[in-house]
């Protein structure tokens, strides 16, 4: 579930990688979109993801970070149709209970606000490009990201929002305290829970789920793309690989 690591304390940014301007320049998008389409074609026909990604990546001479972007953006045709059919918009779920994949939503929002690459996959979900697991540290965009998510969710007039955070992840307790304090200060109807296996909690949730994690989206849940909802009204570096190359 966790796809990111902060670098340092609140002075660091959730910004682009050192070579992202080159790797995701407009001139690269055609090859990246074609590679995403080709990987999705192979996945639709039962090819193993690892070998299929290597085949496609080698064919287009993609760098490691570009391959990661293609991997996160691709999915089989069956998965794409199923995920899109169960997607919901925030403006259509007033009064509902929403369960949120906490780190997923926060880190993609931090990337959006920090000028990092935010991908749009074939299923329509917005995802980040960070790839380190197990550790989270507060960055300059953290408080603004919490406020942005809070404002967005407040406009949706939900009955309750339950954020699930990974208990084993470093600093998850501090983040939970920060989110609870923000919710109390603004009067947001939030619960912030620490769990050993948030994926299981999200998949078992009776209400709607907010996540971009493929495992969650392939479960029998209706889902909301919170970073995507924010991206409609905020400038950011959006790399749309859902468009065929």
pLDDT in tens, 108-122: 999 999 999 999 999
CATH number at residue 93: 3.40.50
Is residue 213 within 8 Å of residue 104, measured between CB atoms?
yes
Please report the pLDDT score of residue 134 as a whole number. Answer: 74
Residue 99 lies in a domain: yes
Higher pLDDT, 133 or 129: 129
Contact 121, 128 (CB under 8 A): no
Q: Is residue 154 part of a domain?
A: yes
In-domain check, residue 179: yes
Looking at 12-141, list the stretches that DSSP marks H as alpha helix, in order from N- to C-terminal side.
20-23, 26-44, 49-59, 64-73, 77-85, 102-114
Angle at the Cα of 182 (from 179 to 184), degrees rounded to 5? 110
Is the residue at 199 inside a domain? Answer: yes
Give CA–CA dist 169/214, Å, rounded.
20
Provide the pLDDT for residue 2.
Answer: 41
Please indicate, yes or no, if residue 192 is contained in any of the structural domains.
yes
pLDDT band at 133 (very low <50, low <70, confident <90, very high): low
> What is the band of 136 on the pLDDT scale with cuts at 50, 70, 90?
confident
pLDDT of residue 1: 44
Tell me whether residue 85 is exposed, middle or buried, using C-beta atoms within 10 angstroms of its C-beta: 0 to 12, 13 to 18, 19 or more: exposed
How many folded domains does the chain comprise?
Answer: 1
Q: How confident is the model at residue 50 (pLDDT cuts 50, 70, 90)?
A: very high
The range of the structural domain enclosing residue 132 comes to 89-240
238 phi, psi to nearest 5 deg? -100, 120
182, containing H or E segment: helix 172-186
> Domain for residue 37, yes or no?
no
Q: Is 20 left (phi over 0), alpha (psi -120 to 50) or beta?
A: alpha
- pLDDT category, 131, cuts 50, 70, 90? low
Q: Is the pLDDT of residue 193 over 50?
A: yes
Task: Assign 3-class secondary structure to 119-160.
Answer: EECCCCCEECCCCCCCECCCCCCHHHHHHHHHHHHHHHCCCE
Structural domain contains residue 51: no
Give 5-23 pLDDT, tens digit per residue: 333 344 588 889 999 999 9
Q: What is the pTM (predicted TM-score) of this model? A: 0.92
* 53 lies in some domain: no
Q: What is the mean pLDDT of residues 153-168?
A: 96
């Amino acid at each position: 579930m966790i796809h990111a690591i902060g670098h340092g304390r609140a002075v660091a940014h959730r910004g682009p990688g050192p070579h992202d301007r080159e790797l995701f320049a407009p001139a690269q998008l055609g090859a990246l979109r074609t590679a995403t389409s080709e990987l999705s074609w192979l996945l639709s026909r039962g090819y193993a993801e690892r070998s299929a990604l290597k085949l496609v990546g080698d064919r287009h001479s993609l760098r490691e970070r570009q391959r990661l972007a293609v991997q996160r953006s691709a999915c089989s045709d069956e998965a794409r149709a199923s995920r899109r059919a169960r997607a919901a918009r925030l403006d259509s779920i007033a009064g509902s209970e929403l369960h949120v994949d906490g780190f997923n939503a926060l880190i993609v929002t931090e990337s959006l606000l920090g000028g990092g690459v935010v991908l749009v996959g074939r299923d329509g979900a917005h995802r980040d490009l960070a790839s380190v697991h197990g550790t989270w540290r507060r960055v300059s965009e953290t408080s603004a990201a919490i406020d942005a998510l809070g404002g967005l969710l407040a406009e949706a007039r939900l009955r309750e929002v339950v954020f699930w955070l990974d208990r084993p992840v470093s600093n998850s307790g501090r983040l939970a305290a920060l989110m609870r304090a923000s919710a109390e200060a603004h009067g947001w109807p939030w619960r912030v829970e620490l769990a050993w296996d948030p994926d299981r909690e999200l998949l078992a949730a009776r209400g709607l789920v907010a996540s971009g994690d493929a495992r969650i989206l392939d479960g029998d849940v209706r889902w909301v793309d919170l970073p995507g909802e924010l991206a409609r009204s905020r400038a950011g570096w959006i790399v749309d690989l859902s468009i065929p190359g």
